[in-house]
């Protein structure tokens, strides 16, 4: 069983903490009184996010934040961070995350996502740190037999290498606990994170062409892209386009803070879905975003994309019952906050 520690006495290592979900989680942790150490190689993030974090949380809370620019695959760099800070808990976000790219670059995805996890848990073990929250994904459910998905829904063969990395890392962390029951593992299966910090200071800032729907919609709304490409309108859904459970990134970040509080003093392996429980189609997202930005957003229908499933959405009652967490924001809130971020930061953090 992990030792029970007060938030202000807890050092949390956040890998990938400069990224979209990681940075929003860092805000919630600092506001919750935790000491936070971020390790990020900035391959898909900007160090400028830390100035925004300081503005949001204030100088006193920001004093508890330390950042290292390093690759989690770099054992020596990671060991140095552990020697210096002795983290009590780890939240592991670092990894490549583009579904489509993973299909064309499987070796890179397996090497990076699985490799950095193995390095991380080995360094954790060497330093006596056995508590980890893993950034998993609803992709582990594959093409679901029935909806909504609960944590007891079967894991299916993944539909792309990105999904397989999440699938395998869940297995690795579960096996770690089987071998040593002192390990304290929480697997958070996210549905589709969108939105941005309501302050407009932080949001998703993809490098190059966005791989996710909402940043692409946002960039189209602001005129950086000609039209949204909708992949498939012949699915068995109300309007023919794919249905997903979109969750506001701030709700998701608060889910990590809730998991951190819940796992305090425990050991074992626990899985939680983090979503809203509501399915929204691609065309409904475009419509909600059009409302948020005040003008119609052009779109074109393309053929289906390989690896995409028809629909998925979550049953999140377990997170509500055990952790006291549930999503607070709806689709209109998500699109409003995304547009607020995009319109004030048309070039992301580099603007």
Which residue numbers are catalytic?
Answer: 162
Q: How big is the chain by its Cα radius of gyration, in Å?
A: 19
User: How is residue 175 written in tokens?
Assistant: 């096996």
| Parallel/antiparallel/unpaired status of strands 280-281 and 243-244 | antiparallel
Helix (H/G/I), strand (E/B), else coil: 233: coil
Beta strands in 259-345 (DSSP E): 268-274, 280-281, 299-302
Backbone angles phi, psi at 233, to 5 degrees: -130, 25
Strand partners of residue 149: 314
User: How is residue 146 written in tokens?
Assistant: 């029935």
What's the angle, vertex CA 112, arms to CA 210 and CA 51, rounded to 5? 55
CA–CA separation, 316 and 279 (whole Å): 13
CA–CA separation, 260 and 26 (whole Å): 12
How far, CA to CA in Å, does 30 sit from each of 58, 59, 63, 124, 259?
Answer: 10, 11, 9, 22, 15
CA–CA separation, 204 and 194 (whole Å): 8
CA–CA separation, 158 and 86 (whole Å): 35
Among residues 184, 161, 282, the alpha carbon closest in space to that of 229 is found at 282
| Parallel/antiparallel/unpaired status of strands 131-137 and 184-190 | parallel
């Amino acid at each position: 069983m992990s030792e029970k520690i007060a938030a202000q006495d807890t050092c949390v290592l956040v890998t990938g903490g400069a990224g979209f979900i990681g940075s929003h989680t860092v805000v919630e942790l600092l506001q919750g009184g935790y000491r936070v150490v971020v390790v990020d190689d900035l391959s898909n993030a900007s160090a400028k996010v830390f100035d925004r974090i300081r503005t949001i949380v204030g100088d006193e809370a920001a004093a508890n934040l330390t950042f290292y620019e390093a690759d989690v695959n770099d054992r020596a760099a990671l060991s140095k961070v552990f020697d210096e800070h002795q983290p009590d808990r780890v939240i592991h976000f670092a990894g490549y995350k583009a579904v489509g790219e993973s299909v064309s670059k499987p070796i890179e995805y397996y090497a990076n996502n699985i490799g950095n996890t193995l390095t991380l848990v080995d360094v954790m073990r060497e330093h006596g740190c056995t508590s980890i929250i893993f950034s998993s994904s609803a992709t582990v459910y594959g093409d679901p037999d029935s909806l909504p998905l609960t944590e007891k829904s079967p894991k299916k063969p993944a539909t792309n290498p990105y999904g397989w990395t999440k699938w395998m890392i869940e297995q690795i962390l579960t096996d770690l606990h089987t071998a040593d029951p002192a390990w304290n593992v929480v697997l958070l299966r996210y549905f589709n994170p969108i939105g941005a910090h309501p302050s407009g200071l932080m949001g998703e800032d993809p490098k190059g062409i966005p791989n996710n729907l909402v940043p692409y919609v946002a960039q189209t709304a602001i005129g950086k892209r000609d039209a949204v490409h909708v992949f498939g309108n012949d699915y068995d859904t109300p309007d023919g386009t794919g249905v997903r459970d979109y969750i506001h990134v701030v709700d998701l970040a608060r889910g990590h803070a809730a998991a951190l509080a819940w796992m305090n003093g425990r050991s074992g392996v626990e899985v939680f879905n983090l979503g809203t429980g509501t399915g929204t189609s691609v065309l409904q997202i475009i419509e909600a975003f059009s409302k948020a930005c005040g003008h119609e957003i052009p779109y074109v229908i393309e053929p289906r994309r390989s690896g995409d499933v028809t629909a998925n959405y979550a049953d999140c009652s377990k997170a509500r019952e055990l952790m006291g967490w549930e999503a607070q924001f709806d689709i209109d809130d998500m699109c409003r906050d995304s547009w607020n971020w995009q319109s004030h930061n048309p070039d992301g953090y580099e603007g």
